[in-house]
Structure 1
Amino acid sequence: MVKKNKVSVADKKKKLYNRVMDEKRITTDQTTIRINKYLSAAGVCSRREADQLTDAGRVTVAGKEIGTGERIPADAEVFLDGRPVKAETRQVLLLFYKPRGIVCSTKKQRQETTVTEFLDYPVRVYPVGRLDKDSEGLLLLTNQGDLVNRIMRAGNYHEKEYEVTVDKKITETFIRKMSSGVPILGTVTRPCTVYKTGDKSFSIILTQGLNRQIRRMCEYLGYHVCTLKRIRIMNLTLDGLKCGEYREICGDEWKKLNELIRDSSSETVIRTGGQHGNISGRTNKRTGAEAERSGKGILSGRPGDHEQQRVRRTVRSTGKNGKGNRNRSGRQPNC
């Protein structure tokens, strides 16, 4: 009878470790890239729009249609509608003072004026997040899709500041309830910073991404928003811009922005815990919309059960000084 060699526990652990590391090397292969990230980094569109393009069969590599989420060689030649995709050579981030009446979309909707039509910028750019049609203020636009989530995703807790006027006098109870969290859209908003600036006006610092967040919070408490203006996103402000004007981010602003987003999460994470979770325990697509964002401010706690985030790697950028410019389209702002 032939005796079998016994495998030691240490050998088993070593074998398992090597197998796990091999799998890890495969999944983190730097020679390939997901098609939606490729198109986004090339400045063609956002990742979500890239998924729509692949779903429609409009993206090919070597004559073969590429499926949604498929990985391709990083040096592959990609074609969109039969034309080669060329990466943008210059990274652009615009600070735009959006007037009321302009919609944050790159696609024409009925008779509404889109933000890209209004600007008529020579390089294709698209909004970083959204701002309601009836709202005005700071809106960022870029040709770098990977920059979008780092700045705007609610899970990164980056601050956005708004000035708001309402239809009746503001009370201490209103300020307290707005600050502590309001139940809307099947969830409770994160604690945030709110302070009174006048009889019928207040400022609010938010981070969370809920659809028409501020308006819904005020409505729940019996107030109607008359005007809403975003004045700041992280370190970027409206300083030096008139309504309807834009400028490119300058070098110092680039440097500070990259410092602020350096530690932002770069992968999909579903966080649990915290009292301000989704009431149903499931992520609500409507509440995840990137419109007016509310959130942590100075008073916030941990993320709630409802939060689901997708964030991407930081795009290393170099700034270029830019002076304020009026929109190229010649359209008059509604401010």
Structure 2
Amino acid sequence: MPDWNKSKLSRIYFYQKVFLTIANSTDYVVMNGRIPQELQDHWLDRKWEFGLPISLINKNLPFIDSEAELIEFGKVHSLVAGEFNLDENIWRSSAFLNSKVEQAKFSKLISYGDEIIKIAYSPEDIIEFAESTKCPIIIKEALSNSGSGHVVWQSAKENYKLNRIPYPAVMEVYQVNRILDFGILIHVSQGQIELLDIAEMLIGKDFNYKGSFYYPSEKPQWYSKVKKLYNEIYPFAESWQKFIESENYEGPISIDGFLSEDGRQRLRSEINFRYTMGRIGYEIMLKRKLSKDWLQNIPKQTGIVILHSNQKIDPRPDYELILSFNENDPWKIVYIEYRDQICRSIH
């Protein structure tokens, strides 16, 4: 079962706030904290429709229709007869699907892709793998997100890092010359896997997630190449259907991959069976498409951007701030749109 420490609770509360913005005005959004009035005022000022917050303290929710659909950014609860409970079976299923170790096992079983991804059970496995590849190695914790559990090992001088890793973990060759990180957004419903969109992802050198950009009016050149990777070269739906069906999973999936300068391409660096920030940005874009100003002037580029310390959005004045998600620092996490030109620059 999950260990809800302070950091995780803070992240959960953030996702709950974001879920309010993608919910309809008739949707209930369960919260474990109060929504700051200044944030609500900002959304109202932007004429943004959002959901109805209800407190997590009220675990018994008899006023909610028994037929209501429960949607979570990561499935761990059940809602039965108005009672909202942490469900051990759902949690274990979600942990299995999102485990990078389990994904690596299945990938090997079906010989999926040509990428070298192995499982490390000890520091010795990593050192042996590094000696055989003669390359820097990236190690990923089985359950981690947004790059928080990633470690790069380059030489024996960094052996101290290996003792901090919870094993088993996944290890692969670290690609330093990536020219594009992308996220493929798909959705599973009634056994059908649907491709929604492909986002350009912004990833920092320390693997921190910086944002996702979408191109609603005209797709960039790389888009068709990545789509071909997904549909033909490494057909995801055909190859991973059994893995998905093994847990009767329905809902969002995000596949992260990259293209590199030396021609290497990887469709699957990891798979997320949950609502990612990329999927949330996509859902916001869908709501924006219903607005009059969107139809009058469709943006060339839209995106959700997280600014870390000492960063700023490109200062050109052609972007419009649509929404902020942080009441303490309005520019910390934003959804923006570019109408006149495309921007990739975040400093």
Pairwise same-fold verdict (TM > 0.5): no
Higher helix share: 2
